[in-house]
Amino acid sequence: MSGGLTEIETYGVERIPDADRTARPLDLFRVAFGGANTFATCVLGAFPILFGLSFWQGLAATALGLVVGALILAPLALFGPLNGTNNAVSSSAHLGVHGRIVGSFLSLLTAVAFFSISVWSSGDALVGGAHRLAGLPDTELSYGVAYAIFAVLVLVVCVYGFRFMLFVNKIAVAAASLLFVLGVFAFAGDFDPSYPGTLPPGDPLFWPSFIGAALIVLSNPVSFGAFLGDWSRYIPANTPRSRVMAAAFLSQIATILPFFFGLATASIIAARAADYVDPAAPNYVGGLLAVSPGWYFVPVCLIALIGGMSTGTTSLYGTGLDFSSVFPRFSRVQATVFIGTLSIAFIFAGRFAANLTQSISTFATLIITCTAPWMVIMMIGYVTRRGWYDPEALQVFNRRQRGGRYWFSHGWNWRGLSAWLLSAGLALMFVNLPGQFVGPLGGLAGGVDVSLPLGLAVAALLYLALLALFPEPREVYGPAGPRLARSADTPVLPIVDRVTDAATEQVA
C-alpha cells in the first residue's frame, strides 16, 4: 500500500508484496463498516415493519439476522492476509484454478446489484430532501443528475484504489454515524417503541414474517463475503487471525446503528401514515422525508451523499478487481473503468427505461442465496486445509499457466463445484419472497423462507461427504495433512507455461 493518497493503485489480483501490506484490522473494520453504514442499510432496516412486525419484534429479528450474518461473514476475512489476494482467487484452492470464476462472477453480480441499490436509494433521498428544503424540481432530470454525480464520484475513487477508498471510508464512518445519532433528536418526539405492528397475536404469518425479516438483515453482511479479501489482502500475513475475524465481525455488528435508524423511522412512518406520508411517495424514502423535521433535511441529504459514496466504492472496487482477475489482460484500472461504465449504464437504463428499481432487490436476494453456499465451501475448505495454502499455485490462472496443486481435473475441482451447484440450486427452489419470487418448493415450509439456512446446511454436509468419498490429492493439504477429510496419493502436475510449455518453479 505504498505511495500517496492520490497515487493510482497498480496492483490487481497478484499477491501483494509483504512490504506493501501495511493495513491493520482497524482499516478492514472501517471499510467494511463504512460500506454498510449507509442509507441503503436503513432501507433494509425498514423491512421488519413493512412485514407487519412490531418494533420490538422487528428489533429481535434484526439482532438475530445481524449476529448470524456476521458470524458467517467473519471467517471470509482470513483468506486475504494468508494469500495476499482476493477471495475469488483464493477459492482456486477449493474449486480449481478455473472453477474460481464462480466466485468472481458472484461477486461481480452482487457488486452491480448493491451499487445500483445504493445509487438509487441515495439519489432518491438527495433529490427528495433538496426538493423539500430548497424547492428543487422533483423531475427525472434531477434524479438523473443525482445518479450521475454519485456514479462518477464513486468511479473516480475506485480508479485511485484502496488507499483513497480507505480515506473516504474513514470520513464516512464518523460522519454518517454522527448524522444517524443526530436522528435521535430529530425523531425522539414521534418515536414510540410500543408500536404494535399490523400482525395480530397468533397470526399464522408471524413466523414467516419474522424469519423473512431476519433473512433480509442477514443478507447484508453475507453480501460482503466475496469482497472481504479485496480489502484484507493488505493486512500482513502474521496478523493474529482472531483480530482479523473480529474486525470483520464487529464491522457488521456496528451496523445496528443504520438498521435501528431504519427500523425506528419505519415504525414512525407506519404509525403516522395517515397524517404524514404523501400518497405520491409511499416508499420508505418518501415516508422518511415526510416525517422528518425541516432542520433534518440537510442531514438526510448528507447521509445519502456519504452513504452512496461509501457503499458504491466498496462495491465497484471489488467488481473491477474481480473482472481483472477473470480477464488478466485488463489492468485493475482498465477493468474498473470498463465495469464502472457498464454499471452506470445499467443504473440509468434500469431506473428510466426498464423500471428495475423494485426487482433489483429481489435479484440481489437471489444472488446472496447463491453466494452463501460458496462461502460455506470456502470455510469448510479452510478448516480441512488447516489454513494452509500455496499462494503461487493460486496464481496459475492469472499467469496463463496450468498445473500445480489446485489444477485438479483440467483446472476444475468437481467436489467443490458440485457441492455449490446442488446446494445453491436447492436453495433457489425454496426461496419464498411473496409478491416478488417464490421458488417451486417455496411453499413447503409453511410460508417460511428457508432457502438460506437450507443452502448453508446442504453445502456443508455435501462438501464434507464428497471430500470423504473422493479424497483430494495429499499435496493440497500441506505438511500437516488434512483435517476432517481423507487424502489420496494422486500425483500433482507441475506448473507449466501455456505458451512455452516450460516447467516453472513451484513454491512449496
Write the CB contacts of 391 (distance below 8 Å, at least 6 apart in sequence). 15, 82, 83, 84, 85, 507
d(C-alpha 230, C-alpha 131), whole Å:
38
Q: Is the dihedral of CA 362, 365, 366, 367 positive or negative?
A: positive
Asked if residue 324 lies in contact with residue 332, where contact means CB atoms within 8 angstroms, the answer is yes
Q: What is the per-residue pLDDT for 341?
A: 86
Amino acid at site 77: A
Residue 70 grid cell: 456476521
Beta strands, E only, 305-448: 401-402, 432-433, 437-438
CB half-sphere exposure, 301, CA atoms < 13 A: 16
Q: In this structure, what are the phi and psi dihedrals at residue 381, rounded to the nearest 5 degrees? A: -60, -40
Q: Is the dihedral of CA 93, 424, 73, 376 positive or negative?
A: negative
Amino acid at site 57: Q
- Distance between alpha carbon 326 and the CA centroid of its chain, in Å? 19
Identify the structural domains of the chain with CATH numbers, from first to last: 26-497 (1.10.4160.10)
d(C-alpha 49, C-alpha 434), whole Å:
15
DSSP string, 258-295: HHHHHHHHHHHHHHTHHHH--TT--SHHHHHHHHS-GG
Q: What is the per-residue pLDDT for 357?
A: 65
Asked if residue 246 lies in contact with residue 78, where contact means CB atoms within 8 angstroms, the answer is no
d(C-alpha 141, C-alpha 137), whole Å:
9
DSSP string, 19-59: GG----HHHHHHHHHHHHSSHHHHHHHTHHHHTT--HHHHH
CB half-sphere exposure, 213, CA atoms < 13 A: 29
Q: What is the per-residue pLDDT for 7?
A: 66
Asked if residue 42 lies in contact with residue 122, where contact means CB atoms within 8 angstroms, the answer is no
pTM for this one? 0.87
Distances (CA, A) of 302 to 49, 103, 104, 127, 384: 25, 34, 33, 11, 46
d(C-alpha 19, C-alpha 234), whole Å:
10
Task: Give the pLDDT of the chain (508 residues) as one tens digit per residue.
Answer: 445 556 666 677 788 998 889 899 999 998 899 888 888 788 889 989 988 999 999 999 999 999 999 999 999 999 999 999 989 999 999 999 999 989 888 888 887 887 887 788 778 888 888 888 888 888 889 889 888 888 888 888 888 877 777 787 778 788 888 989 999 999 998 999 999 999 887 888 898 889 888 988 998 899 888 888 888 999 999 999 999 999 999 999 999 999 999 999 999 998 876 444 443 334 677 788 888 898 898 888 888 778 777 777 877 777 777 777 677 677 778 888 888 888 888 888 888 877 676 677 678 788 889 999 999 999 999 999 999 999 999 999 888 889 999 999 999 999 999 999 999 999 999 998 776 788 999 888 888 889 999 999 999 999 999 999 999 999 999 899 999 999 999 999 999 986 554 444 444 3
Write the CB contacts of 337 (distance below 8 Å, at least 6 apart in sequence). 155, 159, 320
Of residues 307, 265, 278, the one with CA closest to residue 122: 307
